[in-house]
Homo-oligomer: A and B are copies of this chain.
Amino acid sequence: MGKTNCSCEKCQLKSLFFSHVDASEMSNICDIKVEKQYSKGEIITTEGEPIREFIYMKEGLVKLSKTGTDGKDQIISFSKPFDFVSLLSVFSSKTYKYSVTAIEDTTVCILDLDVVKNHAQENALFAMDLMARISEATDKILLDNLAIKRKHLKGRIAHVLLYFSDYIYKNDEFELPISRREIAEYIGMTTENVIRTLSEFRKDKIIKIFGKDILISDKKRLQNISDFG
């Protein structure tokens, strides 16, 4: 039996990779993967470049973004550990359609794309699992975008704060991993109005702000603003 264990105890890709394989047939994913570290701010993949690798998030936080013809960026979504970062486009395009940038120190596992494709071709259940993960991820992005689209400025800001608090950090106090401008790029409003709204929340004692550190003091009200604003 091949070794199926490596240092990555929680690796979900490993589970997917091996879950439907006869032990004797498989090569060890841990032997062929390359780990790579990125500091906050570093670009992981660039829009337009050829896709050669399959990227899997081990640690950290990244943003997916796209640059418009006018040079202005739009942030599409964020990815956290155990997401397949190169989800979008990997199986439908030869080049990246979006850029991925680390917004926290990030570790990714990199597999040669052909290895993953070959494995999927030889193992339909793995292909099915991948498909499910891709669908899930894109569904989440679409739903999130729709939710934001329904809301006004205040609701959108509340939404973003709750997103980081509830979904990413699972804590009422956290350090915003992105700038005010990036929040604006995500929700489709201007930087100034993002700042103004945060200040307003502060004045209304809904949150406390210390630079990038945010403390949500009245979550119920914030949730209310997110739901009805």
Contact = CB atoms under 8 A, between A and B. Distances in A.
Contacts of A122: 124
Contacts of A91: 128, 131-132, 135
Contacts of A128: 91, 117, 120-121, 127
Interface string A38-54: 00000000000000000
Interface in A57-86: 66, 68-70, 72, 74, 76
Contact of A149 (B74, B121, B134): B74
A153 to B, nearest CB: 14
A156 interface: no
Interface string A116-157: 010011111101101111111011011101100110000000
A161 interface: no
From A90, A133, A145, name the one whose CB has the most chain B CB atoms within 10 angstroms: A145
Contact of A76 (B88, B132, B146): B146
Nearest to A66: B146
Contacts of A139: 88-89, 92-93, 97
Interface of A: 66, 68-70, 72, 74, 76, 88-93, 97, 117, 120-125, 127-128, 130-136, 138-139, 141-143, 145-146, 149-150, 188, 227
A76 B138 CA distance: 13
A97 B135 CA distance: 12
B142 A88 contact: yes
A127 B120 contact: yes
Given A127-B127, A138-B142, A142-B76, A68 B121 contact: no
Contacts of A131: 91-92, 120, 127, 130-131, 134
A72 B131 CA distance: 31
A89 B135 CA distance: 6
B74 A138 contact: no
A88 B30 CA distance: 32
A31 B46 CA distance: 46
